[in-house]
Amino acid sequence: MRFTHLSATQVKEFHTPRKLGIKPKPAGVLWFACEDAWRTWIKDEVGNEEWLKQYKYEYTAELGESKLIVLKTYKDIQEFNTKFSGDEDYNTINWDRVRKETGKSGIFVKNPRIFKARQDFLWYSSFDICSVGVWSSDAIRSFVGKKI
């Protein structure tokens, strides 16, 4: 699968975030969309292709899936939530604990549209597209950019 990252500025190096936080999504990570999912979401959901003009660089990456926590089924999401929920209402995830206890380099939400999971876990409903958040460069096999 091809992963893309759109950016208003050139990405010159990867910065490993010191703290990922207790929130719906990990803080300070490098986000990748599956294929062209981000562009499609902007066109379909935002309804304004002009919004895409803010991006000046496009990066294509190959990621090592074995280095990522992969969530693709309701069961995957439920088990992940049970282990790493940051609060009793399932609104957040303790991402620092995730990094420490799993030894993984990022999170891969393959299917962000599982209806029951979107109802049950508020943090999961914040993922709008198939995406990967990387907090360690170990997961990045290649990263090639171009000006757009």
Q: How far is residue 139's CA from residue 146's CA, in Å, rounded to a whole number?
A: 21
Query: Any alpha helices (H) in the chain, and if so which ranges?
Result: 37-41, 74-84, 95-102, 115-120, 122-125
DSSP class of 91: -
Against a cut of 0.95, is the pTM above it?
no
> In this predicted model, what pLDDT tens digit does every residue of 32-58 receive, in sequence order?
999 999 999 999 988 888 889 999 999
- pLDDT given for residue 50 in this prediction: 87
> In this predicted model, what pLDDT tens digit does every residue of 51-79 receive, in sequence order?
899 999 999 999 999 999 999 999 999 99
Spatial CA neighbour of 114 closest among 125, 105, 123 = 125
